[in-house]
Structure 1
Amino acid sequence: MEGNKKKISAEFPFESKFLEVNGSKMHYIDEGEGDTILFLHGNPTSSYLWRNIIPYLKPLGRCIAPDLIGMGKSDKPNIGYSYKDHTDYLTKFIDNLDLKNITLVLHDWGSGIGFHYANTHRDNIKAIAFMEAMVKPIEPSPEMQTAFKMMRTKGIGWLMISVGNMFINKMLPSMINRTLTEEEFNYYKAPYPTVGSRKALREFPRNVPIGEEPKFSYDRIKAYGEWLTETDLPKLLLYVTPGALIRDVDVKFIKENFSNLKAVDVGEGLHFIQEDNPHQIGEEIAQWYKEL
């Protein structure tokens, strides 16, 4: 596609807005007019992840991309940053802005939060686009289980994530094929200058269900995973090779079990695919959205 040749910009040319939720400010951008297109990032990114994709959707709807509580330019209150906390903040964010007829664009933990919202607010969802997403409870490899066990171990996990800032310094760049520019890397790194500022990053791995624990996460992900196989809501899957959360076996499962689905291969990639191929992703979402 022509989009593959376009420059990937480091600029974030959007006006910052803030909305108070539970006594804390959530940062977001709000571009365009019409039905809501809501972009939800995961760990350890922010609305910055969508900077090269939103321009493709801005002519088609009201593009809103928040920074999850405790992340990006949003406040970092002294809360647990559990899955339950994040779903509560997002639901109130949507209610406070009175967002209606929402098309979700989901990635990573943004999918865990967004799919749950969709399952519990079905009448307010128009369609769902997703990439590198949690469409059902994860079945981790032995290597992944070991990594999560370390991250969840008291002391070790704190040293890895809060002191070493592992998600920003190691995982983010290792899950992108190209090398981030200094400006891009610094934008992602800026919200987390201290050990205390990294609490939200540290808590996300604790909330990934391994087996059936933690139960809150497992039950919600299992419930929306079942709903995704039942609903005729329009869906767009964007996938890469080899991927990380959505690999070949997952693409096969989704194609066989999700109705009203358009699946698009956007080339080579790992996890943060918006940093490798944002223009094709933006073009594909825009084309699909026009046809809804």
Structure 2
Amino acid sequence: MPVTNVLDSTMHHEEAGSGAPWVFLHGNPSSSHLWRNVLPAVDLSARLLAPDLIGMGRSGKPDLPYRFADHARYLDAWFDRLALDEVVLVGHDWGGSLAFDWAARHPGRVRGVAFFETIVRPMSWSELGDGPRSRSEAMRGPRGEALVLDDNFFLESAFTRGVLNPLSEEDMRAYRMPYPTRESRRPILEWARSLPLDGEPADVFERIQGYGKWLAGSGDVPKLLLTFDSSPTLGIGPELAEWCAANIAALETQHVGPAGHHAPEDQPEGIARAITDWARRHHLSGERGRHV
């Protein structure tokens, strides 16, 4: 369980294997624990790393606003401290957005990107269903602090409503452990309030516009979208998957099967198998070197 000094704090990560670096980025409100059953099933000669974002999991909790730019800044420093180059990124939820953002700003250091259930483009309020719209309104409004900081509602609901298969109490404890107090839950609230809708929040909207240009123009970097079914909590359904196919360069789409939004809880082996097959097709493990 390596811990790396990063800026004024520390970042924890899980690590397995050796070879070309693969970085698995979690989203909200999870941690590297999300990947516990995926990494052992990835059958590649690669160095697999799964960090906890700053303020989350077992990483440090400095006094920050925990905006998108804060997470990106600490993640940049972590990549640099570990001297990670020619990286394959795997991202879920906000981890996918951070992966796109890092790749867009470091195009010479990325070999491939796999992603699922993440933010591929800005959205509008009108695109949200009744449930997601009500939830987003609650998170952004005055009730948000009470729901997330006091009641820990976002975390508890994520791993009940956002999965098809109930988690064990042991796994729920692992997800709850980093957030024992009101203040420790602030990163969760900030992420929940950051979903870009009708151009707000502006700072996140600008980041997504920036990495959207990279996604559309990076035809030399293979990309993999994983899709799922059977859950009302899924963020990337058939319509958005079609949009991705039409607007993201060098994209392959692989349907994995039934899962909720936190898909690694429901389909860890399916995710690992799809990633492994894609990597072998594009020679993304073993010896380093740009895919040709």
TM-score normalised by L of structure 1? 0.91
Contact 1:151 1:158 in 2 (8 A): yes
Contact 1:26 1:66 in 2 (8 A): yes
Q: Deviations over 1:1-53 (max 9, x none)?
A: xxxxxxxxxxxxxxx11011121111101221111100000001001111111
Give the distance between the partners of 1:97 and 1:58, measured in 2 at CA: 23
Contact 2:226 2:271 in 1 (8 A): yes
35, 60, 63: which is aligned to 1:50?
35
Q: Give, in angstroms, the shift of residue 253 of structure 1.
A: 0.9
Give the distance between the partners of 1:109 and 1:41, measured in 2 at CA: 7
| Aligned residue in 2 for 1:207 | 194
Q: Which moved more, 1:124-133 or 1:200-209?
A: 200-209
| Aligned residue in 2 for 1:269 | 259
Alignment of 1:244 with 2:229, yes or no, is: no
Alignment of 1:177 with 2:167, yes or no, is: no
| Alignment CA distance shift 1:53-1:142 (3 Å) | closer
| Aligned residue in 2 for 1:152 | 140
Contact 2:2 2:13 in 1 (8 A): yes
Question: Per the alignment, in what secondary structure is the counterpart of residue 217 of structure 2?
Answer: coil
Give the distance between the partners of 1:181 and 1:28, measured in 2 at CA: 22
Q: Give, in angstroms, the shift of residue 171 of structure 1.
A: 2.4
Question: Would you identify which runs of 4 or more consecutive aligned residues in structure 1 move more than 4 Å?
Answer: none
Give the distance between the partners of 2:5 and 2:59, measured in 1 at CA: 10
Contact 2:44 2:276 in 1 (8 A): no
Between the two proteins, the alignment pairs up a number of residues equal to 276
Contact 1:44 1:172 in 2 (8 A): no
Q: Give, in angstroms, the shift of residue 146 of structure 1.
A: 3.3
| Aligned residue in 2 for 1:27 | 12
Give the distance between the partners of 1:35 and 1:153, measured in 2 at CA: 44
* Cα RMSD for the two superposed structures: 1.4
Contact 2:26 2:93 in 1 (8 A): yes
Alignment of 1:131 with 2:116, yes or no, is: yes
Question: Gaps (5+ residues) in structure 1?
Answer: 1-15
Give the distance between the partners of 1:263 and 1:59, measured in 2 at CA: 20
Q: Percent identity?
A: 35
| Aligned residue in 2 for 1:216 | 203
Structure 1 counterpart of 2:81, one-letter code: N
Contact 1:32 1:58 in 2 (8 A): no
TM-score normalised by L of structure 2? 0.91
